[in-house]
Amino acid sequence: MHEMGIVLHLAKTLDETAEENKLTKIGRVTLQVGEVSGIMTDLFTDAFDYFKKKHPMLTECKLELETIPGVTWCDNCHKTYETVKYGKTCPHCGSGETWLLQGNECIIKEIEAE
Amino acid sequence: MKIINVGASVTASNDKDAALLREEMRARGQLMINLMSSPGSGKTTLLSRLIRDLSEVKIAVMEADIESAVDAERIEALGAKAIQVHTDGMCHMDAGMTRAAVEALDDDAAQLIFLENVGNLICPAEYDTGAGLNMMILSVPEGDDKPLKYPLMFEQSDALVISKTDALPYFAFDLEKCAERARKLNPQIRVFPVSAKTGEGMEDLEAWLLERLAAY
Ligand SMILES: Nc1nc2c(ncn2[C@@H]2O[C@H](COP(=O)(O)OP(=O)(O)OP(=O)(O)O)[C@@H](O)[C@H]2O)c(=O)[nH]1
Ligand SMILES: [Mg+2]
Ligand SMILES: [Zn+2]
């Protein structure tokens, strides 16, 4: 499953962050997830909660998700618009020559740990 | 409890592993090519053709599939070394899985190592495998609008192979438009229209591969 793969990568990056900062336990992790990153937040949360039970450093870790809105740029009229609302077609001019500016990312913003 | 600002992608650790693998393979003079596409776009057929045409180069293939070993068997039948990698349900190969596959392949003599990634235009583009080159295939029947729908894959690829060009008469596929859309996303991308069936366009692709191998 796509979401479990991301959880595994997240855990690996957190393990390294913990090692660098000499941490033993992570109590909270805050992720910024792009609106159109294709990550299903419910599935992601379930996958994380399943995984953390088997990963001592994360057993009590709370997952917080923040959303990065999807914003698309129109090459034809040089305006931006909300990706989720209008998809590929520019609402200003009807052009399909449009490109995603942001909303595809998955970033670890911060962690709370000891 | 203290708060640490991380500000890194969830795949930061994978990116580090990938960079290390890339350096190790470069030191051995082995060029790994990560081949990505939708299912059935003609990856195995293209590889079979390359193995036959580039007989002066030692080629090995790592076939990543969620299941089955038919692709590896097809490659081995041509006399090239091949291994099948099962991804255990994962939709992509990452650097750790790729390292394990390179170790399982265990072929220091191979000069070009192809990784046939899982058939999917989304997830494989999100994970650096440690390959020296990313090559994607888009086949004519899939349509020339794919750069608009899967931009990340086109942004991450060094080369776009447009395959099955012998089928162009049967599809409304605009080669120029497709190449232009791809270049808009990635001005550096090399575009190679080929037919692995008739051999049309294979020479340019093969010359480019040999050039990249020599420069590696
Ligand atoms: N007409 C035509 N058919 C092709 C060409 N290349 C591949 N095919 C056909 O496309 C189908 C799929 O080819 P494969 O090489 O198995 O594709 P693949 O990408 O390896 O497939 P998966 O590994 O299952 O994702 C087969 O029926 C091939 O014969 C081509 O250049 N021209
Ligand atoms: Mg195949
Ligand atoms: Zn517009």
Q: What is the CATH number of the domain that holds A63?
A: 3.30.2320.80
- pLDDT band, very low/low/confident/very high, at A97 (cuts 50, 70, 90): confident
Q: What is the pLDDT of residue B70?
A: 83
Domain assignment present for residue B17? The answer is yes
Give the residues of chain B that fall short of pLDDT 50.
none
A8: in domain: yes
Which residue segment(s) compose the domain that A62 sits in? 3-68+103-113
Nearest neighbour of B2 by CB, restricted to A10, A100, A113: A113
Nearest CA-CA partner of B129 in B206, B211, B36: B36
ipTM of the complex model: 0.80
A88 domain residue, yes or no: no
Span B20-61, pLDDT tens digits: 999 999 999 999 999 999 999 999 999 999 999 999 999 999
Q: Is A63 part of any domain?
A: yes
Q: Chain A partners of B18 at a C-beta cutoff of 8 Å?
A: none
**Dist. CA A22–CA B105, nearest whole Å:** 36
pLDDT of A111 strictly over 90: yes
Q: How far is residue A4's CA from residue B60's CA, in Å, rounded to a whole number?
A: 30
Task: Report the CATH number that the domain containing residue B26 is assigned in CATH.
Answer: 3.40.50.300
Across chain A, what does the average pLDDT equal? 94
The pLDDT of residue B1 is: 79
Contact B179, B136 (CB under 8 A): no
Residue A95 lies in a domain: no
Q: Which of A17, A27, A96 sits opposite B1 (nearest CB)?
A: A27
The domain total for chain B is 1
| B4–chain A Cβ distance below 8 A for any pair | yes
pLDDT in tens, B138-156: 999 999 999 988 888 999 9
**At A1, is the pLDDT very low, low, confident or very high (cuts 50, 70, 90)?**
low
Q: Report if residue B19 sits inside a domain.
A: yes
Tens of pLDDT, residues A15-32: 999 999 999 999 999 999
Domain-embedded: residue A85: no
